[in-house]
A and B are shown apart, each in its own frame.
Chain A
Amino acid sequence: MQKSARLPLTRAQTAWLAALLLSAQLPLWMSVLDWVALVGTGLVILRLLPPVRRLGSTRLRALLLPALALVAALGIRAQFGYFLARDPCVEFLYLLIGIKFLEARDTRDGSLLVCLALFLAVTQFFYTQSLLAALLALPVVIALGGTLASLRAGAAAHADWRAQLAEPVRLTLQGIPIAIVLFILFPRLAGPLWGTATDTAARTGLSERMAPGSISELSLSDAVAFRVDFIGPPPSPRDRYWRGPVLSRFDGREWSALSHLKLGSFARRESAPIDYTVTLEAHGKLWLFALEYPLALPHAPTDEATLGAPVNDIALLTYDQQLLARNMVMQSVRYTVRSASRAKVTAVEGDVADNIGLPNNNQRSALFARELRSRVDSDRAYIDAVLAWFHGDPFVYTLTPPLLDRDPVDAFLFDTKRGFCEHYAGAFVTLLRAAGIPARVVTGYQGGEMSLDADYMIVRQSDAHAWAEALLDGRWQRFDPTAAVAPSRIERGLGAALPAGEPVPYLARMEMTWLKSLRLHWDAVSYQWQRGVVGFDVRRQRDLLREFGFDNPRPVQLAAAIAGVVLAWTALVLGFSRLRASQVDPELALWGRACRRLARAGLARRPDEGPIDFADRAATRWPQCSVALLRIGELYARLRYGPEREQRAALLVRLRVSVDSLPSVRKLRAQS
């Protein structure tokens, strides 16, 4: 076995390593802490500066570098409060790579850094599995190939980086079919391995609480909440109410969900049913969003559904008509639901008690409500009066309402009159409850934008919305006070409803059509990525394999299939290169074979080394084979550079015999 020589790193090798490390760090810039990103990348760059390169040989590093690592570990521990979890460890690795690179001196350090960089490069998929993340991983692969090539070439690695780049690119291309096979056939795990409890990071999305400002904050995000494929025409914009958390409890400032959970029954539909498939992005919570009102439990998408797989156990319906998943949505899910925009939701026992109470602040509102109620003769007339008041009074729909303090409903209704949908929904429900009408806040999304070729709908976080439901005449009915203030919010979306100059997500504005179309194009691509690549889970793998005739394959069969395809491809690639070599010149192929064997035995021909020189060198290394080696060099030289025409065939035979007579790689290694 060859010993890996500890040669000092050349400049080219150092440069390649730096490229590898930087490209591994780059995708994590958005995920790690700011100071970690700055310091970790700074250390890598620092190593390239001349004075630090000299630091590598001083004794200082023996003390300095462990101290640096300790400081980094303590800093991260201080920031997180814990250390042994996914995120702090990724941050530590990020810093560690910079520190290790600072002290890297020889090729063994280089090999270690390659391993560390690869590990770091994979960690970015903890945070995001988008198409962009996959593309960002590509430079790592290329830089990895270049680094390995330059490490292997040793001191002979000239500045010829183009040749070193061409090789890894070629290898990457050759590896793509194998990657595809592994992707399709490798057994899928049911869930991600890394969902550790300490790291349920805050994700953007609705929550079970709503305080003034929480939704308007969400509205600034362009992130996709979910996408919808409609089977049939999509509903009109005014019917696009995507029902999410229902908030019945009010503490005077914040709305929250009830803590107890009761199962409910589905609404009776009063209009045509709409069937659609939702691709919900991970939000770390339980809600499954559906159009108001769902008529049945979600099931696996019909285009992928297979023979009677038990899928109706993924969700349940609560008595306040929320669809809840049985497990937290930690990765994107797809499900098909049937809804109807008109449906009768009858009151159930406990509804009144749960949805009537008010805390005893906001007294002005209570007074106003009682006074207004006494002037009209029915609950419905009262609700109409409140909505008319919202419409008539100078209420302003804005993303940047003033801060509300002690009695937020009072302050909003009578002083500031500036608010976002959560202000209107919350104040509306307060007014209803004050007048003795059971009511609750419903949050979710309102709206949605059709994709470019109109085959699916995109619902973004900026479509987050809050509205109200009141129990009237024994059934729950939807009222949207925001519509009374800013009707265009419901009809045409957020951007149209807000006055110009408000900080709206770029996409919510109707102008900037080229940007919008660019983003829509990108969304179409990443939707396909999400569906086809990230969403390729156990079930879809099983379905695909069934189409190929593998019904419930055993792991052994899968392994055999993978090995078979990989072997066949390798044989094809190698065979092709052999074929090409033999087409060029038979003596070149034979010479190449001899050179490869000697290279594997530890003596590589320099690219510029002539046949006689190399044969001489090999003959001094293996004196017992010197006759054959010298003859090979001479015959090859005569065949390639000599004037022989008639003797070619005979010389070729002799060359082939001599090459075949060379001992095996193992014997050569033993003899050297």
Chain B
Amino acid sequence: MTLRPAQTQAIPVSERLASVIDALGRVVVGKQTPLKLALACLLARGHLLIEDIPGVGKSTLAQALAGTLGINYARIQFTSDLLPADVLGVSIFDPAAHAFRFHLGPIFHSIVLADEINRAPPKTQSALLEAMEERQVSIDGETRPLPEPFFVIATQNPAEQIGAYPLPESQLDRFLMAIELGYPDPAAERELLVSGDRRRRIPEISPCADAATLSAWQREVDAVHVAPALLDYVQALLAASRGTSGATPRLQRGLSPRAGLLLVAASRAWALLAGRPMVLPEDVQAVFPALAAHRLAGSARAGGPQAQALLHAVALP
């Protein structure tokens, strides 16, 4: 890992983040923006929901992220008979020790890929979501903290909603961002076909960071400057989403104050990725659709146009 000398404008962290994105891009081809959004989501201590069909590289993304950042990874395939214990862990009687011993569930990993979360019954879903929110698990009267950093990537297949349990709105709100990966563009797809499955390269990834570094980066995010003028803009966006400014038609549901807080956090992360010590309106605009779409309309696909229209309607103060 080489560090180029810090420039006056850039801060050293962003150089290392850029190399993370480079490394990720070698595995997940042609998905620069979703990659950056996923990383920003992680840096902002949020969780990510990916809405897409199977086979576009969701678990590759999660594994590559874990590999590049040097943190551990687990995948949970959600099914209709999955129980909360399968996610959180279970206490099993150990005859040798004459005691119950807690077996950690797959959730005790830094990056958890919850695949097809909408296929599990609500009880299991909410076990996961509560853990995401509180970053700890309480079982048998004992509270166990989850690893730090802790990042959940949940996937949802929009095409197969029969026999599934779609996440209610209140649960969707737990995810900082909801994105679509989409099909690769022709050039990227050709490269993929030529070089074979990218997942084989995952073991070859050399980590660029570790858990401690990641936590340090997360603290860097908090230090990114947010000017009053930018907060004005964020507030204008929130007001527009609630239809109170008169500039836009009233939407089904507006953005909550918590969404505003998260928007600032995600914008900070994006600014850090871009190597800026302060948040610009461009940063807000970059993360806004991913953050607002599922909150406005219940899914990334349905809310995308609404979020874009909101951005167009709100002038910079």
Q: Which residues of A contact B (CB under 8 A)?
A: 158-160, 162-163, 606-613, 637-638, 640-643
Contacts and interface: CB of A to CB of B under 8 A. Distances in A.
A641 B230 CA distance: 6
Interface in B232-286: 246-249, 277-282, 285
Nearest to B279: A641
Contact of A608 (B225, B278, B280, B312): B312
B278 A642 contact: yes
A162 B247 CA distance: 8
Contact of A158 (B277, B281, B285, B313): B313
Contact of B281 (A163, A610, A642): A610
B216 interface: no
Given A162-B246, A613-B282, A643-B277, A608 B315 contact: yes
Given A608-B312, A608-B313, 19 more contacts: A158-B312, A158-B313, A159-B249, A160-B248, A607-B315, A608-B311, A608-B314, A609-B316, A610-B282, A610-B285, A610-B316, A611-B282, A638-B278, A640-B229, A641-B280, A641-B281, A642-B277, A642-B278, A643-B227
A613 B225 CA distance: 20
Contacts of B247: 160, 162-163
A162 B249 CA distance: 12
A608 B277 contact: no
Interface residues of B, number: 21
Contacts of A158: 312-313
Contacts of A643: 225, 227, 277-278
A643 B285 CA distance: 20
A606 B281 CA distance: 13
Contacts of A611: 280-282
Nearest to A159: B249
A524 B280 CA distance: 60
Contacts of B278: 637-638, 641-643
28 contacts: A159-B249, A160-B247, A160-B248, A160-B313, A162-B246, A162-B247, A607-B315, A608-B285, A608-B311, A608-B312, A608-B313, A608-B316, A610-B281, A610-B282, A610-B316, A611-B282, A612-B282, A613-B282, A640-B227, A640-B229, A641-B227, A641-B278, A641-B279, A641-B280, A642-B225, A642-B277, A643-B225, A643-B227
A163 B282 CA distance: 24
Contacts of A610: 280-282, 285, 316
A640 B276 CA distance: 14
A607 B314 CA distance: 7
B316 A607 contact: yes
Interface in B42-98: none
Contacts of A642: 225, 227, 277-278
Contacts of B279: 641
Contacts of B248: 160
A163 B246 CA distance: 10
Nearest to A160: B247
A45 B285 CA distance: 40
Which of A158, A608, A638, A641: most chain B Cβ within 10 A? A641
Contacts of A160: 247-248, 313
Nearest to A156: B312
B187 to A, nearest CB: 23
A16 to B, nearest CB: 17
A265 B280 CA distance: 91
Contacts of A606: 312
Nearest to B226: A641
In order of increasing CB-CB distance, the 4 nearest A-B pairs are A607-B315, A643-B225, A610-B281, A610-B282
Contacts, number: 52
A285 B248 CA distance: 59
Contacts of B277: 642-643
Contacts of A640: 227, 229
A11 to B, nearest CB: 14
B276 to A, nearest CB: 8
A641 B283 CA distance: 11
Contacts of A637: 278, 280
A641 B314 contact: no
A163 B225 CA distance: 32
B144 to A, nearest CB: 39
Nearest to A613: B282
Contacts of A612: 280, 282
Nearest to B246: A162
Contacts of B285: 608, 610
A160 B246 CA distance: 8
Contacts of B227: 640-643
A642 B229 CA distance: 10
Contacts of B280: 610-612, 637, 641
Interface in B286-317: 311-316
A606 B316 CA distance: 9
B6 to A, nearest CB: 17
Contacts of B246: 162
Contacts of B229: 640-641
A398 B170 CA distance: 81
A607 B312 CA distance: 8
Contacts of B312: 158, 606, 608
A613 B285 CA distance: 11
A166 to B, nearest CB: 11
Nearest to B249: A159
Nearest to B283: A610
A608 B282 CA distance: 9
Contacts of B316: 607-610
Nearest to A587: B229
A637 B279 CA distance: 9
Nearest to A643: B225
A123 B147 CA distance: 80
A450 B254 CA distance: 62
A162 B229 CA distance: 24
Nearest to A640: B229
Interface in B173-230: 225, 227, 229-230
Contacts of B313: 158, 160, 608
Which of B246, B247, B313, B316: most chain A Cβ within 10 A? B316
A638 B312 CA distance: 23
A88 to B, nearest CB: 46
A89 B57 CA distance: 72
A163 B281 CA distance: 22
A642 B314 CA distance: 21
B268 to A, nearest CB: 12
Contacts of B281: 610-611, 641
Interface string B12-24: 0000000000000
B286 to A, nearest CB: 10
A301 B282 CA distance: 70
Nearest to A637: B280
Contacts of B314: 608
Contacts of B311: 608
A637 B285 CA distance: 15
A162 B279 CA distance: 30
A614 B282 CA distance: 10
Contacts of A641: 225, 227, 229-230, 278-281
A256 B232 CA distance: 81
A158 B313 CA distance: 8
A379 to B, nearest CB: 83
A159 B313 CA distance: 9
Contacts of A162: 246-247
A162 B246 CA distance: 8
B170 to A, nearest CB: 30
Nearest to B315: A607
A606 B308 CA distance: 14
A575 B249 CA distance: 36
Nearest to A641: B227
